[in-house]
Amino acid sequence: MTHDGMAEWETAVLEGGPVDGVVIRLANRPGVVQVTHPCAVEGPASEMHIAALYVYRRDLRVKEEPLRYGFDPASP
């Protein structure tokens, strides 16, 4: 947070997994970033919206921009 209570935006790079190398902007240095990707749905559930979920965890050793988030292969 900045002195005026507003969140400060920072740059981070996602490493590994399906979005390796993607650069994002985020606030408050979250420990985990979730990435979703829509899945095609067929049959009776075709009205449903289903997405694959990927988890990236912050590398706590990186203290300055760009922050680093590594792919968690144990993502559900």
- pTM of structure: 0.82
Report the pLDDT value the prediction gives residue 45, as an integer from 0 to 100: 84
Total domains present in the chain:
1
Would residue 2 count as lying in a domain? Answer: no
3 in a structural domain: no
Does 1 map to a domain? no
The range of the structural domain enclosing residue 67 comes to 9-71
Tell me whether residue 21 is in a domain: yes
What is d(CA 18, CA 72) in angstroms, rounded to the nearest whole number?
Answer: 11
Q: What is the pLDDT of residue 4?
A: 65
Q: What is d(CA 38, CA 50) in angstroms, rounded to the nearest whole number?
A: 6
Q: Domain for residue 49, yes or no? A: yes
- Whether 56 is in a domain gets the answer yes
Q: Residues of 32-58 as b/e, b for ≥16 C-beta within 10 angstroms?
A: ebebeeeeeeeeeeeeeeeeeebbbeb
Mean pLDDT of the chain: 91
pLDDT in tens, 4-26: 667 899 999 999 999 999 999 99
Task: Tell me if 64 is assigned to some domain.
Answer: yes
In a domain, 4, yes or no: no
